[in-house]
């Protein structure tokens, strides 16, 4: 078997394994965080496919270096798929908007979207439960006596995020027909006095 067909066959096997492992995982096992689970599935699929590729005669046309390159490509592909499919669909407000418009018969008044987001989206997607669970599992926050607190890791990530937002997000971003830098510092015009701070 020549190199290109061998590489294509090995990649098809990897993709089949990835789909099968992901399917079994989401239907029959517990999932703590969708993104992490999808990454683990990709690594497992790449591992099984690489064992098949390195230790079966069907792929002898490929040199070990080429096989190693394929494994790296599979891992990157699995990572890209984990972000682009389950994670985006699970988290995306953009997809939610499309699904909600479809659910409401194909149209929603523009002035009704604040109600959709604050009263429907947060409740329907259990947004607070999902996001706090993800942060706890990621080690960025802890829950102590009803208070969600940043860990050192969470504090570092928040600082990095604020720095990136302030210095590397677009200054002229299109928001409903006009260009604005409002999202560079979204807290600038936020509420200063709140009652939900931990004591």
H/E stretch holding 100 = helix 93-103
| pLDDT(194) > 90 | no
* Structure confidence by residue, pLDDT tens digits, 25-67: 999 999 999 999 999 999 999 999 999 999 998 899 999 999 9
The secondary structure of residue 116, as a DSSP letter, is: I
Structural domain spans, the chain: 3-91, 93-138, 140-199
Mean pLDDT of 149-155: 95
Quick one: pLDDT at residue 106?
A: 94
The stretch 15-23 carries a mean pLDDT of 97
Long-range contacts of 64-68 (CB under 8 A, 24+ apart): 66/3, 66/7, 67/10
Does the pLDDT of residue 182 top 90, yes or no?
no
Tell me the average pLDDT of the chain: 92
Other Cβ atoms closer than 10 A to 74: 25
Paired residues of 142 in beta bridges: 149
What local confidence, expressed as pLDDT, does residue 1 receive? 57
Report the pLDDT averaged over residues 114-120: 92
Q: What predicted TM-score, i.e. pTM, was given to this entire model?
A: 0.79
pLDDT at 193: 72
Nearest to 53 by CA among 66, 40, 67, 39: 67
For every residue of 135-188, DSSP letters joined together read: HHHHTSEEEETTEEEE-HHHHHHHHHHHHHHHHHS-SSEEETTEEE-GGGSTTT
pLDDT for res 195: 80
Instruction: Report the percent of the chain where pLDDT is more than 70.
Output: 98
């Amino acid at each position: 078997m020549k190199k290109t067909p061998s590489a294509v066959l090995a990649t098809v096997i990897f993709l089949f394994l990835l789909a099968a492992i992901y399917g079994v995982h989401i239907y029959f096992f517990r999932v703590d965080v969708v993104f992490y689970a999808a990454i683990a599935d990709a690594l497992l699929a790449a591992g099984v496919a690489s064992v098949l590729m390195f230790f079966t005669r069907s792929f002898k046309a490929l040199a070990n270096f080429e096989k190693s390159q394929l494994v790296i490509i599979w891992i990157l592909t699995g990572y890209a798929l984990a972000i682009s499919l389950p994670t985006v669909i699970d988290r995306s407000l953009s997809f939610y908007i499309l699904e909600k418009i479809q659910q409401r018969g194909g149209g929603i008044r523009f002035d009704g979207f604040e109600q959709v987001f604050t009263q429907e989206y947060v409740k329907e997607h259990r947004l607070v439960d999902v996001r706090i669970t993800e942060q706890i599992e990621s080690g960025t926050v802890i829950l102590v006596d009803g208070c969600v607190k940043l860990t050192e890791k969470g504090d570092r990530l928040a600082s990095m995020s604020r720095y990136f937002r302030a210095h590397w997000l677009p200054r002229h971003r299109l928001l409903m027909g006009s260009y604005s830098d409002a999202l560079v510092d979204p807290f600038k015009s936020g509420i200063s006095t709140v009652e939900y701070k931990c004591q």
